[in-house]
C-alpha cells in the first residue's frame, strides 16, 4: 500500500499581548431595510460624497532598536544645546582638521563611485595648507600626475623644445613612475609619435638617468610578459619604443640584437613580422655601431626566407626589408634631423640585458606619504634651477620678493644714473672677437652652434652673428663646409636667424665689388650651400638684376659661381625645375628679364657663356615669339613758302609757288623761270655734287635737270619717290640739299601721281 504523507499539524494562534491595541472593526455601513413609505424615505448620497468616519488618534510608534532611540535622543539634545549656547570660533588647527576630515570623506565617497563636484574639492584643497600633512601631499601627487600626463599628451615635433623645460618644472624624481607609465600608455595609443617620445626621454635621460633606466626596464619587462602570453600588439609597441630609444642611444644596441635573436629563434608569422618592424627602425643604427650584429641578423632573415615555412605575406615583408637595406634606409632613418636634440657626449647609454632581473619600481606609481616632503622638494628646486638656469629663491614669500624687487629697482636706477655710453665701439669689437674665437675653437659645427647660442647678444646686435660667420668663412683660403653647416643649422633653428641671413645676402651682393676674387668666390659658395639646403628662401634671388647697366664684373662673377655651385650641389635637372617653379617666378624677374629685348639677350648670352644655356630656354622662346615693334612713321610733308625760304637764305626774291599752275593729265608745269635759274646757278657752283646727283637720280631727276637748264621745272615722277630719293642723294652743301628737298616736298604736295 502506498504510504500516506503525514499532514502538518495546525497550531493555535497566540493570544494578543496585553499592551497591544487592536483596531476594532467598524460597524457595517449597509443600510438596514426601512419600512417607511417610499415617499417619506430619503435618497442616499453618492459614494464620492460619503464622508469617511473620523480616525482614532493612535500613539506615536516606538523605536524597537534601543541604539536608534539613544542616537535620536542624543541628536535632539545637541540641537537644543546649540540653540541655547552660541558657537565658539574655530581656531586655525580646528579648521585644518575639519577640512582634512571632510576631504578624506569625499575621497572615500568618490572612490566608491559617488560623484563629487570639482568645485567642492578645490575649495577644500585651498583650505589645506599644511605641507607636512598627508592630505596636502595627496593633493600635490594628484596635481603632479595630471600635469605630467597633460604635457606628454600635447608634445609634438614643433613644441618639444618648449615642453621639456615645463616637464623639468615638475618633480620627475618623485613622479618618475608616473612619467614612465604615462609615456608608455601614450606611445601604445599613438605609434607614429614614438620617435617624438623617444627624443623627449633622451633629453630627460641626460639630466635624470634614473628615469631613462626605469623606462627601459619597464619596457623590457613588458616585452617579456607579452612574448610569453603571445600578445602580438604589446610586443610590437614595446619593441618599437625600445628601437627608437636605441636610436637615441638611451639603450645599447645589444638589447636589439637579443630581442631579434629571440624572435627569430623559432620563427612564426607573428614573431618574424615583429622582427621585421624592429629591424626597419633600428637597422641603420645597428649597422653604423656594430655591423657584425647586423650581418648576423640579416643572415638569419635570409635563412628563414629560404627554409622556414612561413606565410607569403611575411616572405614579402622580408624581401621589402632587404630592399630597404639596399636603399640604405632612405625612408627609415635612424634619427630624423629635427629630433636630433642631444649631443653624443651628453647622452648616457644604459646596458640592460633581456635576461637580467630588472627592478621596475612599481611602488612609484602610487602615492606614499613622505615625512621629509619639504626637504626633498627643496632639493629638487635646486636641481631644477641648475638645469633650467633659474635664480634661487623664486618661491619665497611675498615680503621677501617685494624687498628683493625693490632692491633690484634701486640697483637698476643707480646703474642708469652712472651709465656711460661708449662711442668707440669697444663692446662691438669685443662681441665680434668672442664670436670669432668661439667659432675657431670649436671642433665641429654642432659644438660651434651650441657655444654660439650661449653667447649673450645685446638687443639690436643679432645681425653680428651671421655677419661674423660669413666673414670667418671668407677669410679661409678655400671654402670650408664647416661654416656652411653652421649657417644652415642657425637658419633652421629659428626664423629670426633665417631672416638675418637673407638680409646678409642682399647686403653682400650690393657690396660684392669691394671683395677680391677669392673672397668673392667663397661668399658665393657659402650662400649656394644655404640655398641648396633650403636654409634660406630662394626668393633672395630677387636682389639680382642681370643687365648691362646694373651689374659689374664682380657681381657677374658672383652670380656665375653661385649658379655653378648650385648646379653641382643639387644637379642641373633639379636646379632647372626649381627655377621654373611658378611660385618663384616673381623673384626671378631680375635674373631672367623679359621687359626689354636688350636685357633678355644679355641674360641669354651670360648664361650661355658660363655653360648654363639650359636655363635660358624660356627666354629664348619669349624672344622668338616676341611681337616686332611697329615702324616709325615718317613726318608729314610741309609745303615750303617763299617766306620760309627767304628766312633760310636759300632764295633772294624768288617765289617758290608759281603764279599760275597749268595742270594737265598727270603733268605739272612750273613756269617760274627765276627759280630754275637760281637752282641752275647753285648746281653749277658745286659741280661734283651736281654730277653725283645726276648719276644717281632716276628718270624723274633727269627731267628735273633739263627743266632747270631751260629755266622751268617739269616733275614727271611719283612725288613720294622724289621725296624719298632727293634727301638721300644730294649730300653736298647744306644750301643745295635744302633747295632740292624743298622742291621735292612742294612737288609732292601739288600732285600725287604723274
Q: pLDDT by residue (tens digit) across 106-146?
A: 666 666 556 667 776 666 666 666 677 787 888 889 889 99
pLDDT of residue 730: 39
**Among 508-517, 531-540, 583-592, 694-703, which stretch is predicted with the lowest mean pLDDT?**
694-703
Sequence ranges of the chain with CATH classification 1.25.40.180: 135-365
The span from the CA of 205 to the CA of 194, in Å, is 16
C-alpha neighbours within 13 Å on the C-beta side of residue 123: 8
Closest CA to 644 of 635, 655, 658, 636: 655
How much is the pTM? 0.43
Cell numbers at residue 402, please?
Answer: 617685494
Give pLDDT tens digits for 660-670: 444 444 334 44
> Which three three-digit cell numbers place residue 24?
476594532
What is the DSSP-derived secondary structure letter of residue 661? E
CATH of domain 135-365: 1.25.40.180
The pLDDT assigned to 626 comes to: 76
More confidently predicted of 526 and 54: 526
Per residue in 308-337, pLDDT tens?
788 899 999 999 999 999 988 988 899 988
What are the distances in angstroms from CA 138 to CA 126, 152, 366, 490? 13, 21, 10, 45
**Is a pLDDT exceeding 90 seen at residue 728?**
no
Residue 644, H or E segment = helix 642-648
Integer Cα distance of 281 and 259 in angstroms: 13
3-state secondary structure of 663: strand
Whether 196 shows a pLDDT value over 60: the answer reads yes
Q: Tell me the mean pLDDT in the region 615-644.
A: 69
Cα angle, residue 746 at apex, residues 745 and 751 outer, rounded to 5°: 100
Which is it for the CA torsion 637, 640, 641, 646, positive or negative? Answer: positive
- Say if residue 361's pLDDT is above 80: yes
Distances (CA, A) of 672 to 344, 719, 735: 110, 19, 20
Q: Where residue 633 falls among pLDDT bands split at 50, 70, 90?
A: low
**pLDDT of 548 strictly over 90:** no
Is the model's pLDDT at 507 over the cut of 80? yes
pLDDT tier, 485 (very low <50, low <70, confident <90, very high otherwise) = very high
Query: Once rounded to an integer, what is the mean pLDDT over residues 562-589?
Result: 89
Whether the Cβ atoms of residue 291 and residue 254 lie closer than 8 Å to each other: no
Q: Is the pLDDT of residue 2 over 50?
A: no
pLDDT digits (tens, 9 = 90+) for 563-572: 999 999 889 9
> CATH 1.10.10: does it fit domain 426-567?
no
**pLDDT (0 to 100) of residue 283:** 92
Amino acid at each position: 500500500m502506498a504510504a500516506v504523507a503525514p499532514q502538518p499539524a495546525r497550531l493555535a494562534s497566540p493570544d494578543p499581548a496585553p499592551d497591544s491595541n487592536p483596531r476594532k472593526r467598524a460597524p457595517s455601513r449597509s443600510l438596514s431595510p426601512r419600512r417607511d413609505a417610499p415617499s417619506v424615505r430619503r435618497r442616499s448620497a453618492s459614494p464620492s460624497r460619503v464622508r469617511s468616519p473620523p480616525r482614532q488618534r493612535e500613539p506615536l510608534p516606538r523605536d524597537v532598536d534601543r541604539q536608534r532611540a539613544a542616537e535620536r535622543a542624543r541628536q535632539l539634545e545637541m540641537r537644543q544645546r546649540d540653540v541655547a549656547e552660541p558657537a565658539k570660533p574655530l581656531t586655525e588647527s580646528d579648521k585644518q582638521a575639519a577640512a582634512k576630515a571632510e576631504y578624506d570623506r569625499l575621497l572615500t565617497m568618490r572612490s566608491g563611485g559617488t560623484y563629487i563636484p570639482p568645485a567642492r574639492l578645490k575649495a577644500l584643497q585651498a583650505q589645506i595648507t599644511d605641507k607636512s600633512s598627508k592630505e596636502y601631499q595627496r593633493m600635490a601627487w594628484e596635481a603632479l600626475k595630471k600635469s605630467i600626463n597633460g604635457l606628454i599628451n600635447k608634445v609634438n615635433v614643433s613644441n618639444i623644445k618648449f615642453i621639456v623645460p615645463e616637464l623639468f618644472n615638475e618633480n620627475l624624481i618623485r613622479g618618475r613612475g608616473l612619467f614612465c607609465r604615462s609615456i608608455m600608455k601614450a606611445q601604445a595609443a599613438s605609434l607614429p609619435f614614438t620617435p617624438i617620445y623617444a627624443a623627449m626621454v633622451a633629453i630627460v635621460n641626460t639630466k635624470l638617468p634614473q628615469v631613462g633606466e626605469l623606462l627601459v626596464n619597464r619596457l623590457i619587462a613588458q616585452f617579456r610578459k607579452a612574448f610569453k602570453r603571445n600578445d602580438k600588439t604589446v610586443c610590437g609597441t614595446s619593441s618599437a619604443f625600445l628601437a627608437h630609444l636605441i636610436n637615441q642611444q638611451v639603450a645599447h644596441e645589444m638589447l636589439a640584437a637579443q630581442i631579434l635573436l629571440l624572435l627569430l629563434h623559432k620563427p612564426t608569422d607573428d614573431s618574424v613580422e615583429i622582427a621585421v618592424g624592429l629591424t626597419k627602425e633600428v637597422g641603420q643604427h645597428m649597422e653604423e655601431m656594430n655591423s657584425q650584429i647586423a650581418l648576423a641578423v640579416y643572415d638569419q632573415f635570409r635563412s628563414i626566407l629560404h627554409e622556414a615555412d612561413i606565410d607569403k605575406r611575411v616572405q614579402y615583408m622580408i624581401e621589402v626589408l632587404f630592399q630597404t637595406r639596399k636603399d640604405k634606409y632612405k625612408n627609415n632613418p635612424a634619427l630624423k634631423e629635427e629630433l636630433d636634440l642631444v649631443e653624443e657626449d651628453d647622452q648616457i647609454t644604459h646596458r640592460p640585458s633581456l635576461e637580467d632581473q630588472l627592478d621596475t619600481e612599481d611602488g612609484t606609481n602610487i602615492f606614499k606619504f613622505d615625512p621629509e616632503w619639504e626637504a626633498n622638494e627643496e632639493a629638487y628646486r635646486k636641481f631644477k634651477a641648475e638645469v633650467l638656469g633659474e635664480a634661487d629663491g623664486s618661491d619665497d614669500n611675498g615680503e621677501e620678493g617685494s624687498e628683493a624687487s625693490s632692491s633690484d629697482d634701486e640697483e637698476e636706477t643707480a646703474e642708469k644714473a652712472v651709465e656711460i655710453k661708449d662711442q668707440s665701439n669697444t663692446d662691438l669689437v669685443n662681441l665680434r672677437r668672442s664670436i670669432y674665437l668661439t667659432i675657431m675653437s670649436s671642433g665641429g659645427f654642432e659644438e660651434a652652434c651650441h657655444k654660439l647660442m650661449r653667447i649673450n647678444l645685446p638687443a639690436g646686435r643679432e645681425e653680428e652673428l651671421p655677419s661674423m660667420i660669413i666673414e670667418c668663412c671668407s677669410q679661409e683660403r678655400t671654402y670650408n663646409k664647416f661654416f656652411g653647416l653652421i649657417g644652415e643649422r642657425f637658419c633652421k633653428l629659428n626664423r629670426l636667424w633665417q631672416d638675418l641671413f637673407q638680409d646678409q645676402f642682399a647686403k653682400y651682393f650690393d657690396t660684392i665689388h669691394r671683395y677680391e676674387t677669392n673672397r668673392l668666390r667663397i661668399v658665393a659658395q657659402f650662400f649656394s650651400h644655404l640655398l641648396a639646403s633650403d636654409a634660406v628662401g630662394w626668393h633672395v634671388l630677387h636682389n639680382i638684376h642681370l643687365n648691362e647697366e646694373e651689374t659689374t664684373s664682380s657681381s657677374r662673377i658672383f652670380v656665375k659661381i653661385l649658379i655653378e655651385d648650385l648646379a653641382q650641389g643639387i644637379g642641373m635637372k633639379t636646379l632647372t625645375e626649381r627655377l621654373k617653379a611658378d611660385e618663384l617666378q616673381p623673384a626671378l624677374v631680375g635674373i631672367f628679364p623679359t621687359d626689354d629685348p636688350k636685357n633678355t639677350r644679355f641674360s641669354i648670352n651670360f648664361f650661355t657663356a658660363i655653360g648654363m644655356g639650359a636655363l635660358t630656354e624660356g627666354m629664348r622662346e619669349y624672344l622668338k615669339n616676341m611681337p616686332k615693334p611697329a615702324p616709325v612713321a615718317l613726318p608729314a610733308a610741309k609745303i615750303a613758302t617763299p617766306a620760309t625760304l627767304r628766312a633760310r637764305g636759300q632764295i633772294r626774291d624768288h617765289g617758290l609757288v608759281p603764279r599760275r599752275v597749268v595742270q594737265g593729265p598727270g603733268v605739272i608745269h612750273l613756269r617760274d623761270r627765276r627759280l630754275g635759274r637760281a637752282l641752275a646757278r647753285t648746281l653749277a657752283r658745286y659741280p661734283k655734287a651736281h654730277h653725283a646727283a645726276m648719276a644717281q637720280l632716276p628718270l624723274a631727276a633727269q627731267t628735273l635737270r633739263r627743266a632747270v637748264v631751260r629755266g622751268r621745272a617739269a616733275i614727271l615722277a611719283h612725288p613720294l619717290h622724289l621725296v624719298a630719293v632727293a634727301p638721300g642723294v644730294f649730300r653736298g652743301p647744306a644750301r643745295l640739299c635744302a633747295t632740292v628737298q624743298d622742291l621735292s616736298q612742294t612737288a609732292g604736295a601739288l600732285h600725287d601721281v604723274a
